[in-house]
Structure 1
Amino acid sequence: MSNWTNDAILDALRGVVEPELGKDVVSLDLVEVEGTAGDHGAGLTLTVKSSNPAMHARKRMQEAVEFALERAFGKPVACDVKVIPLKQEERTLETRKVLPGVEHVIAVASGKGGVGKSTVSSNLAVALAQLGYKVGLVDADIHGPSVPTMFDVAGEKPQPVEVEGKTKIEPIEQYGVKVLSIGFFADPDQAIVWRGPMASRALNQLFTDADWGKLDFMIVDLPPGTGDIHLSLVQQI
């Protein structure tokens, strides 16, 4: 009888870490084993999902899996190892790179400015908080951040806080909602003139460098149009 059982294979792969997610591929449920094992694993197909779809990242993952199998079962390894990208719809709270502690993300957008996106975002966030949910609100409108004014926190400045040895931004809390806005970090008397990549990086920091904790809902108030900020949000979240 072959010693290439499913349990033995999964045990062998517990030391293979998904680099972008920081956990092993088995605990993240990223491994599928199909087929019947013959000598040296022949007849088996191992499919491993990678958070990074780039070819070089998938190649490194394949090499790590094959090395782990060689250590566990010896050479040669005759099974077929495939590494495929993790699909967006397959991502869970654990396998999401950005905002892993947020259950639901709601983006409020429109192709035209001045139609009430910030009003809808603010009222939606407060209404959800009043229903007992844990809610965060990101004001990503770099052209005219109005959420600080709507929440009566225009003069507030978010403070740094230490979280697990890392310095994070602590959101301002008002009306039961955690709030961060581009407006907190810009001079209200000066226009914000940022090119697309700079705006996208600033938005990314509001998500990745803030201590949001566990949230039921994250509301994102987007700028008008369909530009770099919108594309970055969809790709990351």
Structure 2
Amino acid sequence: MSVITPASVEQALQQVIDPTTGRDLTSLNAVTDIAINGSKVDVTLLLGYPANSVHSAIAVAVNEALNRIGVAQVGLDIGWTVYANPTANSQQALPEVKNIIAVASGKGGVGKSTTTANLALALAAEGARVAVLDADIYGPSQPQMLGAPERPPQVIKHNDQQFMVPVETHGIQVNSMGFMVTENTPMMWRGPMVSGALQQLLAQTYWQDVDYLLIDMPPGTGDIQITLAQKVPVTGAVIVTTPQDIALLDAKKGIEMFRKVNVPVLGVVENMAIHICSNCGHEEHIFGEGGGERIARDYDTELLGSLPLNLSIREDADNGKPSVATDPESAVSKIYRDVARKLSAKLWVQNLDSQAMPDIEITED
């Protein structure tokens, strides 16, 4: 039987691949402690993204890797923390908010708000603390999609300033202009008023301990998008599109806009990628095929995931309980959770060099 040494343990862990990033645990600096006591080895892992769905798979892989070098008993502690990533501009980060991600589209009707709601719930299901800001001032939809109570937010005083308390629903914090007007009230505001409302909603909401704040953007490349890029401490953007050529043209404009204002595009989510007949199972690409992959490749970003054209996605959102909340184990929910992990892990990996990661401590008792 070979002697278990710190070097052999480290070498074994180099063979364990994190299923989300595709990188080994050692290169990710995820191994924070190794303790050897005879034939028992205790390993502590710290990931930089919420990983509830892959926790078990990582544990199995670590056990198998260490068993192969003769470790009889493995003690494994897997945790994660979400780091505050650099902002894309010079704006000061919001208190209590680590990362701000804009969810945008070049045109309406591609499922951006539905994606925002389900992505927020997926991040929360993976173990993150999440908030949503509905920045579609003219057509706020998050209150209905997330089943939030239709009432104005409570106002509190903090440090001699007044703040709106976000509404909590499905375990996430939400604020929206939709809480302050009725569903029949049109917002007849010009651009500067809309931009001012966005900044006020963002800065005067009493966010609490948020890992990821998702901003549901209105479609297009106008005042709100420019305000967000220049005045909001945004971390990055996600582009939502369908495979349809017209939608892809507008999605390209959205990507170009974010690039011109130096906001990194973290990836693309493709909606309505394929329709599967509920009666016969026939598969058909109604809106085209492979559009999300092409635009991601052309703009050197990543296709985070493709969602099917599925009746339940629309019905669940209309009923105020999006797919991830309605059926967490469904195929659709698993896609959203995969997108959530990829997005959060990408933020971690992109900024890994700038993070103050702990050194590995190795002890032999």
What TM-score do you get using the length of structure 1 for normalisation?
Answer: 0.58
**What is the aligned partner in structure 2 of residue 161 from structure 1?**
156
**Deviation at residue 214 of structure 1 after TM alignment:** 2.3
> Cα–Cα, structure 1 residues 96 and 155, in superposed 2: closer, same or farther, change >3 Å?
same
Contact 1:172 1:178 in 2 (8 A): yes
**Deviation at residue 191 of structure 1 after TM alignment:** 1.5
**Deviation at residue 96 of structure 1 after TM alignment:** 4.3
**What is the aligned partner in structure 1 of residue 173 from structure 2?**
178
> Identity of counterpart residues, as a percentage?
44
For residue 122 of structure 1, the aligned residue among 117, 120, 123 is 117
**Deviation at residue 106 of structure 1 after TM alignment:** 1.1
Q: In 2, Cα distance between the equivalents of 1:96 and 1:134?
A: 22
- Does residue 234 of structure 1 match 2:229? yes
Contact 2:132 2:174 in 1 (8 A): yes
**What is the aligned partner in structure 2 of residue 82 from structure 1?**
none
Contact 1:98 1:208 in 2 (8 A): no
For residue 145 of structure 1, the aligned residue among 140, 149, 153 is 140
Contact 1:158 1:169 in 2 (8 A): yes
**What is the aligned partner in structure 2 of residue 37 from structure 1?**
none
Q: In 2, Cα distance between the equivalents of 1:199 and 1:209?
A: 15
**What is the aligned partner in structure 1 of residue 50 from structure 2?**
none
Secondary structure at 1:203 match in 2:
helix
Which residue identity does 2:210 align to in structure 1?
L
Contact 2:135 2:215 in 1 (8 A): yes
For residue 107 of structure 1, the aligned residue among 102, 110, 114 is 102
**Deviation at residue 160 of structure 1 after TM alignment:** 0.3
Contact 2:148 2:168 in 1 (8 A): no
Contact 1:103 1:216 in 2 (8 A): yes
Contact 1:117 1:221 in 2 (8 A): yes
**Deviation at residue 97 of structure 1 after TM alignment:** 2.6
> Cα–Cα, structure 1 residues 124 and 194, in superposed 2: closer, same or farther, change >3 Å?
same
Q: In 2, Cα distance between the equivalents of 1:91 and 1:115?
A: 27
Contact 1:148 1:154 in 2 (8 A): yes
Q: What is the number of residues matched between the two proteins? A: 147
Q: Once superposed, what is the RMSD of the aligned Cα atoms?
A: 1.9
- Of the structure 1 ranges 120-129 and 157-166, higher mean CA displacement relative to structure 2 is found in 157-166
Q: In 2, Cα distance between the equivalents of 1:169 and 1:90?
A: 26
Q: In 2, Cα distance between the equivalents of 1:151 and 1:198?
A: 26
Q: In 2, Cα distance between the equivalents of 1:205 and 1:119?
A: 24
Measured against aligned partners, the alpha-carbon deviations of 1:78-115 in whole angstroms (never above 9, x if no partner) come to xxxxxxxxxxx9669xx843523321111111111111
Structure 2 gaps, min length 5: 1-84, 234-365
For residue 194 of structure 1, the aligned residue among 184, 189, 193 is 189
Q: In 2, Cα distance between the equivalents of 1:179 and 1:227?
A: 23
Which residue identity does 1:133 align to in structure 2?
A
Q: In 1, Cα distance between the equivalents of 2:171 and 2:143?
A: 14
> Cα–Cα, structure 1 residues 157 and 90, in superposed 2: closer, same or farther, change >3 Å?
closer
Measured against aligned partners, the alpha-carbon deviations of 1:163-209 in whole angstroms (never above 9, x if no partner) come to 22321100000011100011112231121111110000111011111
Contact 2:136 2:216 in 1 (8 A): yes
**What is the aligned partner in structure 1 of residue 206 from structure 2?**
211
Q: In 2, Cα distance between the equivalents of 1:232 and 1:202?
A: 11
Secondary structure at 1:210 match in 2:
coil
Q: In 2, Cα distance between the equivalents of 1:211 and 1:134?
A: 14
